[in-house]
Amino acid sequence: MNLVRAEMRKLLGLPATWVASLLSLALAPAIALITTLQTRHTLAAGATIDVADLGFRDLAFGVIGPLVLGVVAVSSEYTSTGDEAPDARQLTVSLIAAPRRLRFLAAKTAALSVIVMALALSATVITITITRAAMGDYPLPRLEVTRMLAVALYWLLTALMADAITLITRNGVIPLTLLMVNTSVVSVSYLLSKVTRAAVFLPDIAGLHLFVRDIDTPIRLAPLAGGLVMASWVAVLLAIGAARFSRRDA
């Protein structure tokens, strides 16, 4: 418990965490607002539009905040202390304070999970509320609590995946580039799914099946199946990251 508290304090003490948190809370609602207003326009003009994913599709972009959090939680350990002590890194002190590496990692992952879950649940509630308020009497997706929890799970898994990849690369730039490019409106995974059916089982595409209903992929996964596929990826990546972290010289 001490270790988890220390890791929380560490994470919350970083300016990057606050920026990423703000992003988590503001991005999806902002996009959702623009989307709903557009949708209203279209509907008012008499066109038909599928509203099954209204609000939810916007939450898929909001994942950028948790992604940055996952990267920063690990990469901050490897950042140089400053110009005057370029070789010094926080990791040295972290391991002096908590030499059992797996325990240290478990505490870090727990702290990250708590923060991401809090942000994810808040962002989901805010986004869905805004969507419903802005749509007024127009048609809306049904209000399902499990679907909202599924969004939070997707955010959490994405943050953990970022955390695991950073643990493997020991550098924030690589996972950040990889994952941000793939959060794009047209992601690389989506492109791949147009060429090979196997791409549906990539973590992000599988994970989106958790809460997006209208996905244009060659195979459709049930929400539970999609979640399990993504969770397996995260588990494997975390295991590789943890194994490397505990074996390697710091």
Partner 1 sequence: MITVEHVSKTKGGRLVLNEVSFEARPGRVTGFLGPNGAGKTSTLRVLLGMDRPDGGVALVGGRPYQRLDRPLTTVGALLDGGGAHRSRTARAHLRWVAASNGLPRHRVGEVLELVGLSGDATSRAGRFSLGMSRRLGLATALLGDPPILILDEPVNGLDPAGIRWMRGFLREEAARGRTVLLSSHLMGELAETADDVVVIDRGRIAGRGTLAEITGDHPNLEEAFFALTAASTGGAW
Partner 2 sequence: MRAIRAELIKIGTLPAVRLTIMLTWTATVVLALVYSAAVRRGEPLAPDQVLAPIRFVQAGFVVLGVLVSTSEYQGGQIRTTLAALPRRLGLLAAKTLALAVTAVPVAAVAGIASAVVAREPWPESVEAVAASTGYLTLTTLLAAAVATAIRHPVPAVATLLGYYFIAGPLLRDRTGCDAYLPDTAALGPAPGLAATSAWALAALGATAIGFQRRDA
Residues 161-180 close enough to bind partner 2 by CB under 8 A: 172-173, 176-177, 180
Instruction: Pick the binder of partner 2 from 4, 26, 61, 170 (CB under 8 A).
Output: 61
In order, the DSSP letters of 116-165 are HHHHHHHHHHHHHHHHHHHHTTS------HHHHHHHHHHHHHHHHHHHHH
Question: Smallest distance, Å, CB 215 to partner 2?
Answer: 16
Any contact of residue 100 with partner 1 (CB under 8 A)? yes
Q: Quick one: which of 65, 54, 12 has its CA closest to 32? A: 54
Pick from 52, 110, 121, 192 the residue near partner 2 by CB under 8 A.
192
- Torsion 192-194-199-200 (CA) sign: positive
Which residue bears the tokens 């147009």?
A: 194
Residue 91 to residue 75: CA distance in whole angstroms: 10
Number of residues that bind partner 1 (CB under 8 A): 37
Please tell me whether residue 136 binds partner 1 under the rule CB under 8 A.
no
Is residue 26 a contact residue for partner 2 (CB under 8 A)? no
What is the CA 208 to chain-centroid distance, rounded?
11
What minimum distance in Å lies between the beta carbon of 58 and partner 1? 30
Among 156, 152, 162, residue whose Cα is nearest residue 70: 162
* Residue 21 lies near partner 1 (rule: CB under 8 A): no
Please choose which of partner 1, partner 2, none residue 232 contacts, taking the beta carbon within 5 to 8 angstroms, the exact cut-off set by kind. Answer: none
Q: Is 194 in the site for partner 2 (CB under 8 A)?
A: yes
Judge residue 6's burial from the number of C-beta atoms within 10 Å of its C-beta, 0-12 exposed, 13-18 middle, 19 or more buried: middle
Sketch the per residue contact string, 54 through 93, with partner 1: x for CB under 8 A, - otherwise.
Answer: ----------------------x--xxxxxxx-xxxxxxx
Residues 6 or more apart whose CB falls under 8 angstroms from that of 37 comprise 134
Residue ranges that bind partner 2, judged by CB under 8 A: 16, 19, 27, 31, 34-35, 38, 61, 64, 68, 71-72, 75, 79-80, 83-84, 86-87, 172-173, 176-177, 180-181, 183-186, 188, 191-192, 194-195
Residue ranges that bind partner 1, judged by CB under 8 A: 2-3, 5-7, 9-10, 13-16, 76, 79-85, 87-101, 247, 249-250
